[in-house]
Structure 1
Amino acid sequence: MCLVPDGCTQGELLEMALGDYGLEKKIEKVVLTCSLPDVILQQMALDTPHMQVTNDRKVQNLIELAKTHFVRLCVSSQSQVEAGVDDDTDVSDSDIPWI
């Protein structure tokens, strides 16, 4: 279980995920998504994908949802070498492609 504090930014959430899973931003491409609660999904199409957590506004939406519903944060990673990024390149948050 992960507690995300009020006012947390997308960058801070990403750093927490990197630390919790022992990933390095320079080596790993990380994508954060969350599953929407069943009560919300019942009103949507069956093939609705997970919500991508790509900016501070979406992190705040995630925090608000988590106050009243069980929300699962999904952390996906891929080696930058597999992703086609040069090892000598410094990767910032804005360089990570969000699919």
Structure 2
Amino acid sequence: MSLELPTPIAAYVAANARLDVDDMLKPFAADAVLRDNGAVFRGPAELRQLFEAAVVAARAIFTPDTVRHEDGKVVVEGPAHGDFKGSPIRFTYRFTLENDTITALEITA
């Protein structure tokens, strides 16, 4: 089944599948905020550090299987597989989009 994801989210997911940090960053606004496991990351430098340490190093690939719109956000759910304890783990990604960019992302397990 193919999900109909908004363009910036589809680009992020495709880049994540390739573990391509540069392309993972492209859909994010310059002042984007990402909340993951209680930590807050702001802007491209902090997002890059997070992606390199938590995604690429663990070979963590998110495979969305559901999408819905809720409270002005695009909520995408699915498992992430990789070289990390408990793999696969089901995650919920709550994206805030503006002008075809990701301005905020909250990730919860």
Same fold (TM > 0.5): no
With CA pairs under 8 Å and 6+ residues apart, which has the higher RCO, 1 or 2? Answer: 1
Q: Name the structure with the higher strand share.
A: 2
Q: For this structure pair, what is the TM-score category when the shorter chain's length is used for normalisation?
A: under 0.3
Q: Please, what TM-score do these two structures have when normalized by structure 2?
A: 0.24
